[in-house]
A and B are shown apart, each in its own frame.
Chain A
């Protein structure tokens, strides 16, 4: 009987739960789904991570290759993120060129990298004007159950922490690059941006970590990306019902708590992994 009511009036069905301050899957309004992270999952990539937020699964693989630095910034390398939402992850995506959702998510990840300065592009330069690293970060969603932005940001951060770059020197005489396969070094991660997403219901209620169903029913979504110093890298609110300043404050405080949770989780995983 509940299933019938849910099909006919999904919003009313949800409201019944929200009145009791909980959600159909048993979570509270401010509770995240179980987060698991697996670092160094792909052996063929220079750095990789698999993140699961409940059912939402995103895998990130980072490959480092050589390139000539841009002419307007000869001492900088490149970081190129790309988010792929294949038909495998959800029936709403079709095969073919990247749809709007994938493009918007790719742009969001590129903005987070740029704004938070998680990696200084100067660190990726090997020889100014001649050779630099380019990090291709490919994020693939394996299961889409809402809150793709949080999962992607976390996967990217975890994968970047796992990346080991080989030592490259330019031979003075031959002017060729020599790669020392034995010496590897981790990237210098400046800040740790962590994203927290909310769904806005009925203009007043804010639900943390929405599932795909909740995103569909919500009046709008809001994503806050914060670093460990409490600075905001991104406040992404693509439309939806209006929010006032007080509600935003609640979101900020929740984002701060979430940052601590994620950082602790990542440190535990990295500690359990080393030495490689």
Chain B
């Protein structure tokens, strides 16, 4: 179990198009990230699952409208309880990441809303939210300059790197780093960290995350190919 060990299990993707009234809901995807080494077609206990819905480009309130680009809004609903300050903080992170890739200038004075509902949390929640948001935006046909994905790294007390940690691994880790990377050059779009770590460890985690991101993007591509080749 040397440094760089990754237990980034295979991802599973289910695409359900929500047609609430055929006009509003533009697309939604549920993206479970199984921790066991088997791809599961349905969500089973021990998976992190987030449901994402994208609505837009739609009409925007005059108070929120921006004259030259689209207004992006992210709403994150926790599994239980009312959304609080930590949810607001995560919404801001996801929103800023989406704003960096969505071509808002093509839809000025409109609003694009991403609604994320946490279905189950078994670790690496923010990364799962980011993946779900990206796929939902692609499914909705929102123009983007790149795809993005979320990767979580956990560093334990002796410096071992674990990718995609479970809740237990996150709790016992010395530091947990979540990155959002873009698909073009794997540049760092968003980063949020917990715990203490050194500069060298940061570079190590970033390199590992960039390698893992390739897997995630390949999975995105394969899922989309499967979906669009069927219909």
Residues of chain B at interface, number, CB under 8 A: 35
**Cβ of B64 < 8 Å from any Cβ of A?**
no
* CB interface residues, B 67-109, toward A, < 8 Å: 85-86, 88-89, 91-93, 95-100
* CB interface residues, A 239-262, toward B, < 8 Å: 239-245, 248-249, 252
**Cβ of A23 < 8 Å from any Cβ of B?**
no
B184-227 interface mask toward A, CB cutoff 8 Å, 1 = contact, 0 = none?
A: 01011111111111110011001100000000000000000000
Complex CA–CA separation, A117 to B92 (angstroms): 25
B33-64 interface mask toward A, CB cutoff 8 Å, 1 = contact, 0 = none?
A: 00000000000000000000000000000000
Complex CA–CA separation, A245 to B188 (angstroms): 8
By CB atoms of chain B within 10 A, which of A104, A115, A117, A232 has the most? A232
**Cβ of B182 < 8 Å from any Cβ of A?**
yes
Q: Are A239 and B206 in contact (CB under 8 A)?
A: no
With a cutoff of 8 Å between Cβ atoms, the chain B residues found around residue A227 in the complex are 196
In the complex, how many angstroms separate the beta carbon of A205 from the nearest chain B beta carbon? 15
Q: Are B185 and A242 in contact (CB under 8 A)?
A: yes
* CB interface residues, B 163-192, toward A, < 8 Å: 177, 180-182, 185, 187-192
In the complex, how many angstroms separate the beta carbon of B139 from the nearest chain A beta carbon? 21
Chain A residue at smallest Cβ distance from B184: A242
Q: Are B207 and A245 in contact (CB under 8 A)?
A: yes
Q: Are A248 and B206 in contact (CB under 8 A)?
A: yes
Q: Are A116 and B185 in contact (CB under 8 A)?
A: no
With a cutoff of 8 Å between Cβ atoms, the chain B residues found around residue A108 in the complex are 89
How many contacts between A and B, using CB within 8 angstroms?
98
Q: Are B202 and A232 in contact (CB under 8 A)?
A: yes
In the complex, how many angstroms separate the beta carbon of B192 from the nearest chain A beta carbon? 6
Q: Are B202 and A235 in contact (CB under 8 A)?
A: yes
**Cβ of A231 < 8 Å from any Cβ of B?**
yes
With a cutoff of 8 Å between Cβ atoms, the chain A residues found around residue B95 in the complex are 239
With a cutoff of 8 Å between Cβ atoms, the chain B residues found around residue A232 in the complex are 193, 196-199, 202
Q: Are A244 and B88 in contact (CB under 8 A)?
A: no
Q: Are B196 and A233 in contact (CB under 8 A)?
A: yes
Q: Are A245 and B203 in contact (CB under 8 A)?
A: yes
**Cβ of A20 < 8 Å from any Cβ of B?**
no
Q: Are B202 and A239 in contact (CB under 8 A)?
A: no
With a cutoff of 8 Å between Cβ atoms, the chain B residues found around residue A241 in the complex are 100, 187, 189
* CB interface residues, A 57-90, toward B, < 8 Å: none
Q: Are A248 and B202 in contact (CB under 8 A)?
A: yes
Q: Are A236 and B198 in contact (CB under 8 A)?
A: no
Q: Are A236 and B191 in contact (CB under 8 A)?
A: yes
Q: Are B198 and A239 in contact (CB under 8 A)?
A: no
Complex CA–CA separation, A220 to B182 (angstroms): 15
**Cβ of A106 < 8 Å from any Cβ of B?**
yes
With a cutoff of 8 Å between Cβ atoms, the chain A residues found around residue B177 in the complex are 235
Complex CA–CA separation, A92 to B37 (angstroms): 49
Choose among B98, B194, B197 the residue that contacts A111 (Cβ–Cβ < 8 A): B194
**Cβ of A33 < 8 Å from any Cβ of B?**
no
Chain B residue at smallest Cβ distance from A243: B188
Can you identify 15 A-B contacts, CB atoms within 8 angstroms? A100-B92, A107-B89, A108-B89, A115-B195, A230-B199, A232-B197, A232-B202, A235-B177, A238-B192, A240-B190, A241-B187, A243-B187, A248-B188, A249-B199, A249-B203
Extra contacts besides A107-B88, A114-B194, A219-B100 (6): CB < 8 Å: A231-B196, A238-B93, A238-B97, A240-B190, A241-B187, A248-B206
Q: Which residues of A contact B (CB under 8 A)?
A: 100, 103-104, 106-108, 111, 114-117, 219-220, 227, 230-245, 248-249, 252
Enumerate the 3 nearest inter-chain pairs by beta-carbon distance, A residue then B residue, closest first: A239-B96, A242-B187, A107-B89
